[in-house]
Structure 1
Amino acid sequence: MRTGTASLPLHGGHCPPWLFERMQRLGPAILEVIVQEYGPQEVLRRLSDPHWFQAFGCVLGFDWHSSGLTTTLCGALKEGLRGREKDLGLVIAGGKGRTSRQTPHEIETAVDRLALTSLQPEDLVYASRMAAKVDNTALQDGYQLYHHVFIFTFDGQWAVVQQGMNETSRLARRYHWLGEGMQDFVCEPHAAVCCDARETALNMVARESEASRQVVTELGRQQPAKVVAEFSRILEKDLPNLALPWRHDVPRAGYLNKALLKVYDVQPRDFAGVLGIEGVGPKTIRALAMVAEVAYGAPASFRDPVRYSFSHGGKDGHPYPVDRQVYDRTINVLEQALAAAKIGRTEKMQALKRLSRLANGS
């Protein structure tokens, strides 16, 4: 299992319709080959690998280093799989902007429409919301999420691909999640990471932040007035003597009482419970983490977890313009091989596997 993040430069423009239509055909065809050979769970594993995901987008002809690869690839897969979910055993929900906020509804609707009676949609919705909350609130690295896609199988396995934007650096950062084997939403949920650029981040989901998470949870169960008073004292007296390399401006105390009242009413049992409360955002978590460190000696981590475009060319002409004729031939070969395999004729699929082994020198 490999999950992680990737930072990409923002590019202008849109994916041309002629390319998007082809991506809608070739992308699902490749996924169907993977499902036939390894099962739908393998698709989740590969989509959660940032290197494989990037290579996949490049094979489909998108710009190898553009942030738009994420949103366009996910959109093409979602549209291409629409109505074919039962063939692959996969469902894709969510998307960019306002569409991302429809993810819970899309999950529930798909479970009902496909009669997936063995699934509990609320569990999938919880996973979707927590993945977004962690990367937007608990991991404060300067990137605001604007894209969230949730992929799940008919037996309840899931993966998340989401992306955030840093308007100052003009970079986008992609976050990958894989539910398989994940032990905890708030302790090292990213098993591995991939990116060239590192930032100074408040990382409340690092293993080193365990003491901070415990103290923050306890603070949430205390009377809000007491916590606000403690935070105000830190701002007035202690803060000038601290060297806290946090990305964001230090918040003032005015808003904090309202947010803490919600936490106090819930009396959360753990940090995941604090994080999941509506209205608890980055400022609230940052303020509580500050109190936890200064008043209770429980510091949070500032470790940032972050660290193939020759198949058909690229949309922007690099390394060369997309060759539509070759692209269409690839689609036809895969679609014909898949159609033949469904009626028991596997010669073409076997030939593709032999080509793969030949290319790998095995």
Structure 2
Amino acid sequence: MARRSGSADLPLHNGRVPAWLASRMAILGAVICEAVVHHYGRDEFLKRLAHPFWFQSFGAVMGMDWHSSGITTSVIGALKRGLQTSGNELGIYVCGGRGRHSRQTPQELDALGMRTGLDAAGLTRSSRLVAKVDSAAIQDGFDLYLHGFFVTADGKWAVVQQGMNGGERQARRYHWHSEALTSFVDEPHAAIDGPNQGCIINLTDRRAETSRKSQLDLFRELGPDRIVEELAAVTGKANDQLSLPHLVMPAHHDVRSSDVFIRRLRGTLAAVAERGPADFPELLLTPGVGARTVQSLAMVAEVVHGAPYRFRDPARFSLAHGGKDRHPFPVPIRVYDETINVMKSAITRARLGNEETLHALRRLDAQARVLERTATGSSLPEYVASELKHAAEFGGRSVFGWERQLSLARKQRAS
């Protein structure tokens, strides 16, 4: 069985992921998935998907808007595309998505069952129950529009789905995990992400057990009309999910010092300076590759190896590859591509038994955790200013265009 594992509240953003970023997200997302599975197994990857803080950090390290609702759609889409070829080998499959893709989940699970022998009927039932709980048993003002169903070769699964409240310009993300769930209706969630809505109808609250039983009795005895009356009577039950991880992202788009644990950032930068030359000598001898790429690799390594408590500040991971909307800075395409190349090479070598590069990344992450206790250095505004200064040099790109071209245009206007 499965349970809800957490939740997230996110500002609602419109727009699409540009093709130049979507293609890179698919590749980087897949290799990060492979790295997690290689080190910790498939069950651990499902567990991380079900954790709202890790999920948000995962999207941020891939260059999506660090705080927006769009991370949910883009991460699910990136993994669905990126794991199309390697999913069978890994034993991880992605179904569903946004809008019409979410409604195709049963058909995709049927096809998966035919191909792999998985219990498609049981998985489809779980998918539908999860959607029903978050759309009917919990009535919090958010209408579901996205349903991502992740399943492994041994039938374990995680669900990430999202609802929209257009009036409040907010989205809420619901996370489920098929580990240790004993009931779909009695506090089943692994997490929910979203702003506090005050008093809502939450029939999954343990305190609503009497109400659930009473409604079943009423349905058997008196029919649906009385159930409507009972639903009106239970409005006001609070959502008691305090023990679950709950991520609430701010409305501001820029990355602020209050959004980042600066000592962890300084630990990463110090580890790059001290361990980078020792752990990546061949990489650092490659023309055009240097400490900046290793900084991104260090943050990717933390996404692979970090404990749950280290993802309380998802904004920090946007400092690896920036953001498509130029927050905190344009996506450094050259750095991004080098990160992908190193990660792909590391995974390929590991498949052949040579795990040195993957172990080097792990050592880099471990060193960052040691050094963050004592490391000093730039403030966040200074770090971001340096990135903006070198954005054109790093191949900076955003939805507004290439940074080099934008810089030239600004200079022409100024003159």
Give 2:239's match in structure 1, choosing from 303, 313, 316: 303
What is residue 189 of structure 2 aligned with on the other side? 190
Give 1:312's match in structure 2, choosing from 314, 317, 321: 321
1:120 alignment partner AA: D
Shift of 1:301: 2.5
Contact 2:199 2:238 in 1 (8 A): yes
Three-state SS of the structure 2 residue aligned to 1:132 is helix
What is residue 142 of structure 2 aligned with on the other side? 143
- Kindly indicate whether residue 332 of structure 2 is the aligned counterpart of residue 330 of structure 1: no
1 CA distance for matches of 2:198 and 2:19? 36
Give 1:289's match in structure 2, choosing from 225, 231, 243: 231
Residues 221 and 346 of structure 1: CA distance in aligned 2, closer, same or farther (over 3 Å): same
Shift of 1:47: 0.5
Residues 299 and 143 of structure 1: CA distance in aligned 2, closer, same or farther (over 3 Å): closer
Contact 2:174 2:193 in 1 (8 A): no
1:72-124 C-alpha deviation (Å, 9 max, x unpaired): 111011011113222211010000001101101101101212x23xx321111
Contact 2:11 2:170 in 1 (8 A): yes
- Kindly indicate whether residue 12 of structure 2 is the aligned counterpart of residue 76 of structure 1: no
Contact 1:78 1:93 in 2 (8 A): yes
Shift of 1:300: 7.4
1 CA distance for matches of 2:138 and 2:4? 18
What is residue 101 of structure 1 aligned with on the other side? 103
Shift of 1:303: 2.3
Shift of 1:305: 3.9
2:210 alignment partner AA: A
2 CA distance for matches of 1:218 and 1:312? 55
2 CA distance for matches of 1:67 and 1:191? 19
2:207 alignment partner AA: E
Contact 2:30 2:83 in 1 (8 A): yes
What is residue 28 of structure 1 aligned with on the other side? 30
Contact 2:139 2:200 in 1 (8 A): yes
1 CA distance for matches of 2:349 and 2:44? 22
Shift of 1:200: 2.3
2 CA distance for matches of 1:59 and 1:79? 18
1:100 alignment partner AA: S
1:4-31 C-alpha deviation (Å, 9 max, x unpaired): 2111112222111000000010000000
Contact 1:206 1:303 in 2 (8 A): yes
Three-state SS of the structure 1 residue aligned to 2:320 is coil
Stretches of structure 1 lacking an aligned partner (at least 5 in a row): 232-284
2 CA distance for matches of 1:64 and 1:304? 27
Contact 1:289 1:300 in 2 (8 A): no
Contact 1:209 1:300 in 2 (8 A): no
Shift of 1:195: 4.1
Give 1:350's match in structure 2, choosing from 359, 362, 365: 359
What is residue 350 of structure 2 aligned with on the other side? 341
Shift of 1:347: 1.2
Shift of 1:223: 4.0
1:192-224 C-alpha deviation (Å, 9 max, x unpaired): 545443332100000010000000111111243
What is residue 129 of structure 1 aligned with on the other side? 128
Contact 1:200 1:304 in 2 (8 A): no
Three-state SS of the structure 2 residue aligned to 1:74 is helix
Q: What is the 5 A alignment of 1:103-252?
A: 103-113=105-115, 115-116=116-117, 119-224=118-223, 228=225, 231=226
1:201 alignment partner AA: I
2 CA distance for matches of 1:65 and 1:299? 31
Q: Which runs of 4+ in 1 moved over 6 A?
A: none
2:21 alignment partner AA: L
Contact 1:140 1:203 in 2 (8 A): yes
Contact 2:36 2:45 in 1 (8 A): yes
What is residue 55 of structure 2 aligned with on the other side? 53
Shift of 1:145: 0.2
2:27 alignment partner AA: R
Contact 1:2 1:45 in 2 (8 A): no
1:289 alignment partner AA: L
Three-state SS of the structure 1 residue aligned to 2:5 is coil
Residues 120 and 12 of structure 1: CA distance in aligned 2, closer, same or farther (over 3 Å): closer
Contact 1:2 1:49 in 2 (8 A): no
2 CA distance for matches of 1:49 and 1:34? 14
Three-state SS of the structure 1 residue aligned to 2:179 is coil
Residues 26 and 316 of structure 1: CA distance in aligned 2, closer, same or farther (over 3 Å): same
Residues 287 and 159 of structure 1: CA distance in aligned 2, closer, same or farther (over 3 Å): farther
Contact 1:145 1:163 in 2 (8 A): yes
Contact 1:108 1:121 in 2 (8 A): yes
Shift of 1:289: 2.5
- Aligned residues, how many? 296
Normalised by the length of structure 2, the TM-score is 0.68
2:136 alignment partner AA: T
1:248-285 C-alpha deviation (Å, 9 max, x unpaired): xxxxxxxxxxxxxxxxxxxxxxxxxxxxxxxxxxxxx6
